């Protein structure tokens, strides 16, 4: 019996040490001389987070491929490029704001009468990049529905779309208890992320799967303070600023997600560039 207990302790200790040798945070060494590199956090629960400099974070899972190697991967299936935040007590001239970080073909419908077929508009025209980053409009009905649509196959604004196009439609219920909405659009969540980390004695080697050459990096220990900070960092800084001012912010979940065959919109885009 004592031998059995001792063997179990050895197995558990070995398993724990295997996890501990990779759990921590790493520099991805993807910056330049004067540019900060992105940071990768590998957590004990087999999840990881990547924080890109100037970009939105990514989240995924990791598995052990060998005693000295793990593989990290994100799942992009049915991932929404939209994050919709409802805000209370922050009166603005316009009550919905779109914040894109990429030029994608996206579509929107503000529905007053939910019994009728929604009318979709392109969110931007092909020249939207000449506008500033604040794309604001008013909601026709504060108690209506907002439908956001993204083609399943990502397409740049300059790519020609063949209609009808298979798309994902996300329906959100609006409410007059909210003063305004902020919609963040991040195309990076649809891009696959695959990475391998290998331990060679005391060195850690990062290798993009079917990608660039391996890079040496260092592993740093996680603290409780770091874990709290990276959890907060998944909320956009604009929303954190509002929360610090005592303004209520709530991430909305769609009330319906469905696959649709989107026909070519006949209305002009919601935001049309006015370039000189």
In order of 7, 112, 129, 179, 254, the CA distances from 173 in angstroms are: 56, 11, 29, 14, 7
Looking from the CA of 274 toward its CB, the CA atoms found within 13 Å total 3
Q: What is the pTM of this model?
A: 0.77
Q: Are residues 68 and 116 in the same domain?
A: no
Q: Are residues 70 and 107 in the same domain?
A: no
178: tokens are 């909210």
Q: Are residues 132 and 245 in the same domain?
A: yes
Assigned domain for 72 exists? yes
On whether the CB atoms of residues 215 and 198 are closer than 8 A, the answer is no
Q: Are residues 25 and 115 in the same domain?
A: no
Q: Are residues 181 and 250 in the same domain?
A: yes
- Number of domains composing the chain: 2
Q: If you ran DSSP here, which 8-state letter would residue 109 be given?
A: E
Q: Are residues 122 and 243 in the same domain?
A: yes
Q: Are residues 72 and 194 in the same domain?
A: yes
Assigned domain for 275 exists? no
Mean pLDDT throughout 67-89?
Answer: 89
Mean pLDDT throughout 111-126?
Answer: 82
Mean pLDDT over the full length of the chain? 82
CATH number at residue 36: 2.40.128.370
- pLDDT tens figures, 3-57: 433 333 333 333 444 567 999 999 988 766 667 788 999 999 999 998 876 666 8
Closest of 75, 73, 64 to residue 22, by C-alpha: 64
- pLDDT tens figures, 212-264: 678 899 999 999 988 888 877 778 888 989 998 999 999 999 999 999 999 99
Spatial CB neighbours of 202, under 8 Å, sequence gap ≥ 6: none
Q: Are residues 151 and 99 in the same domain?
A: yes
Domain boundaries, position 162: 82-188+237-262
Assigned domain for 251 exists? yes
Q: Which residues of 139-157 are buried (b: 16+ CB within 10 A; e: fewer)?
A: beeeebbbbbbbbeeebeb
């Amino acid at each position: 019996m004592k031998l059995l207990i001792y063997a179990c302790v050895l197995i558990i200790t070995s398993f724990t040490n295997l996890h501990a040798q990779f759990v921590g945070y790493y520099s991805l060494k993807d910056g330049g001389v004067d540019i900060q590199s992105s940071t990768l956090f590998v957590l004990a629960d087999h999840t990881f987070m990547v924080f890109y400099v100037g970009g939105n974070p990514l989240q995924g899972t990791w598995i052990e491929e060998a005693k000295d190697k793990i593989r990290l991967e994100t799942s992009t299936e049915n991932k929404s490029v939209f994050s919709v935040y409802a805000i209370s007590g922050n009166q603005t001239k316009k009550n919905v704001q779109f914040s894109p970080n990429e030029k994608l073909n996206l579509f929107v419908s503000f529905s007053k009468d939910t019994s009728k077929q929604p009318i979709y508009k392109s969110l931007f025209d092909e020249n939207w990049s000449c506008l500033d980053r604040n794309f604001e409009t008013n909601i026709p009905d504060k108690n209506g529905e907002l439908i956001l649509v993204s083609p399943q196959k990502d397409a740049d604004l300059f790519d020609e779309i063949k209609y009808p196009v298979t798309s994902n439609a996300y329906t959100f219920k609006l409410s007059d208890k909210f003063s305004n909405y902020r919609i963040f659009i991040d195309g990076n969540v649809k891009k696959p992320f695959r990475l391998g980390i290998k331990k060679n004695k005391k060195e850690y080697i990062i290798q993009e799967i079917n990608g660039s050459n391996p890079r040496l990096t260092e592993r740093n220990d996680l603290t409780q303070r770091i874990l709290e900070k990276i959890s907060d960092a998944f909320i956009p800084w604009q929303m954190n600023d509002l929360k610090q001012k005592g303004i209520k912010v709530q991430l909305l979940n769609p009330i319906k997600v469905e696959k649709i065959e989107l026909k070519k919109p006949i209305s002009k885009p919601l935001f049309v560039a006015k370039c000189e």
